[in-house]
Structure 1
Amino acid sequence: MLHHALGRWPEDLGFTVPVDWIRPEALQGDDDVNRRQFVSATAAALVTGPTASQHVDPALIDYFEQQLEGHYRADMFLGPHDLIGTVSAQYQLIDKLVRSAKGEVRRGLLRAGAAYAALVGWLYQDAGDLAAATFWRGVTQEIAVRSRDPHLIGYSLVNQAHVRTDLGDGRGVIDLCEAALDGTDGLFPKLRIMAMQQQAHGASLIGDRSAVDQLIDTAAGLLTRVDDDLPWGNACRRTPGYLEVQRATCYGRLGLGREAEALWAQVLDDVPSTARRDRGVYLARRATVAAASRQPDHAVEIARSAVEIALETRSARMLRELGSLERAMGPWHDAPVGRDLAEILAPVTEGS
């Protein structure tokens, strides 16, 4: 309404807007702008027509799988924006090679392609572009189905459930995770863990604490059985306290401040310095729990470190968590501690 009346956006008029503010023009604006955004996000997956036939050496499968592990590590350091172009370009190369490959080489490249598409989807999701993330999650499922790999098909469903979690659709999350877990006898333990922890997030979105604990406890019983050599979906191996991170996040969503605070304190002690982006997300969530538990000074103290990491990584997921913190600190908006928080958040608020 302000823009319609005055021709300027609220932040240009001096108003403070939420960190997750999206201008309406980004959703309903100029067709040419939207078209360019769509092409930019999807170009690597939408190469048309046949390509010139070429010999595809089986060693390329190992090459792409080794590169994938490097991309996962780089994501922990860099955040999404610096990697989207690189990983998308490699997916495009895999797609080109698939069109020439035959037999088991083709099947292996399809499996690699599904893993790369899943990573591109995650990078867009972490960057806050849920439309592009949803597109790439769909690409992941298509390639997984073409590969005939049941583990990858289950992985693609869990990836889609992750987007539904960010959209706040608890029942949609549960539907997708239950589909991934159908006939789980043959699925690797890692896939079952992934589906159960994501389903726990769905349960927390609909307020079902007992389901959260049951799912995470069951998943925890499978951790020692994870022994596959798949290059994708290894967060449960790489992330210290992986399942307790999920439990703490669910508890925070359920309003269980004391329980969530105890878990975050435990988890953050074990987070390595290399996992900087994850540490920032955890700190922001812990700060929000502290605010909800009426510990505003503690919340502000934690927020200082989270904002520093948010400025480095430009993770939209972290900005969203800081937005939740800002809302949780609403009762102290006019108090000195509230003004301190506003000053701390100013660099990311202005940058958003």
Structure 2
Amino acid sequence: MGAAYAALVGWLYQDAGDLGAAAFWRGVTQEIAARARDPHLVGYSLVNLAQVRTDLGDGYGVIDLCSAVLDGDRVVPRVRVMAMQQQAHGASLTGDLSAIDRLIDSAGGLISRVDDDLPWGNACRRTPGYLEVQRATCYGRLGLGREVGALWSQVLDAVPATARRDRGVYLARHATAAAVAREPEQALEIARVAVEIATETRSARMLRELRALEGEMRPWHDAPAGRDLVEVLAPVNEGS
């Protein structure tokens, strides 16, 4: 339970944009795992560290950490699924589309085997469309606008309204995908909803995604959609 608590605190700091504190608490998770001599918990702790490396843009670091988890058959399917999807993020940071699909598809083949009662790492079972969320995020990093837009539409249909933070992040990514696909009006309308959630939650993850959207919308800065976006983003840009 101590490892689960440390991992949760680390994630909260990561969501708040404090990667230094996130890395510290991920390290606490790893220490607890190592002292417990539990290979499944050690694997989980390495995936946690890989999540921080993902936000730092260190694709090769992500791949190395996840490869260490996947080496051999030491961990349960839950941990293998988590490591595979996170390694896909590393592949997206290094521009390897084929590896993304291979890893996400392989993880999909293991989801039905996640039947343990471990008290941590439940996102792969509880998050609607968990693996397609990862695929869409990875595709988004590669600038595959139209493919990503279709995936986000599918994912968002399954996300409950109560999952406000996740929904806001996904909406912001969907808006960016629309901009990449050269659909600025659609990007603007999706952004309106994302900004409502960002204003309420002040999630650093969400604000970072909206800044990415702002960058992708620069070609339309003199068009009505671009001017309207400035107004839409004003509540989250104030004081940032």
Smaller-chain TM-score bracket: over 0.9
1:178 is aligned to 67
Deviations 1:271-315 (A, max 9, x none): 011111100000000000100111000000000010011111111
Query: Are 1:205 and 2:69 counterparts?
Result: no
Distance 1:159 1:325 in 2: 26
1:314 is aligned to 202
1:346 is aligned to 234
Distance 2:93 2:6 in 1: 27
Give the counterpart of 2:103 among 187, 190, 215: 215
Please list, as runs of the form range in 1=range in 2, the aligned pairs for 1:239-318 lying within 5 A after superposition.
239-318=127-206
- Contact 2:33–2:45 under 8 Å retained in 1: yes
Please list, as runs of the form range in 1=range in 2, the aligned pairs for 1:41-190 lying within 5 A after superposition.
112-183=1-72, 185-190=73-78
**TM-score under structure 1 normalisation?**
0.67
Alignment-mate amino acid for residue 98 of structure 2: S
Distance 2:198 2:120 in 1: 26
- Contact 2:144–2:180 under 8 Å retained in 1: no
DSSP 3-state at the match of 2:238: helix
Alignment-mate amino acid for residue 120 of structure 1: V
- Deviation, structure 1 residue 264: 0.5
DSSP 3-state at the match of 2:121: coil
- Deviation, structure 1 residue 186: 3.3
Distance 1:306 1:208 in 2: 29
Alignment-mate amino acid for residue 154 of structure 1: G
- Deviation, structure 1 residue 187: 1.2
1:330 is aligned to 218
Deviations 1:126-158 (A, max 9, x none): 000011111111111111101111111001100
Q: Give the number of the structure whose alpha-carbon radius of gyration is greater.
A: 1
1:88 is aligned to none
Q: With CA pairs under 8 Å and 6+ residues apart, which has the higher RCO, 1 or 2?
A: 1
- Deviation, structure 1 residue 351: 4.0
DSSP 3-state at the match of 1:186: coil
- Deviation, structure 1 residue 180: 1.2
Distance 1:304 1:336 in 2: 15
Runs of 4+ in 1 over 2 A off after TM superposition: none
Distance 1:317 1:166 in 2: 10
Distance 1:241 1:270 in 2: 7
**TM-score under structure 2 normalisation?**
0.98
RMSD: 0.8
Distance 2:160 2:90 in 1: 28
Give the counterpart of 1:236 among 119, 124, 127: 124
Q: Is there any run of 5+ residues in structure 1 with no aligned partner, and where?
A: 1-111
Number of aligned positions between the proteins: 240
DSSP 3-state at the match of 2:57: coil
Indicate the percent of aligned positions where both proteins have the same amino acid: 80
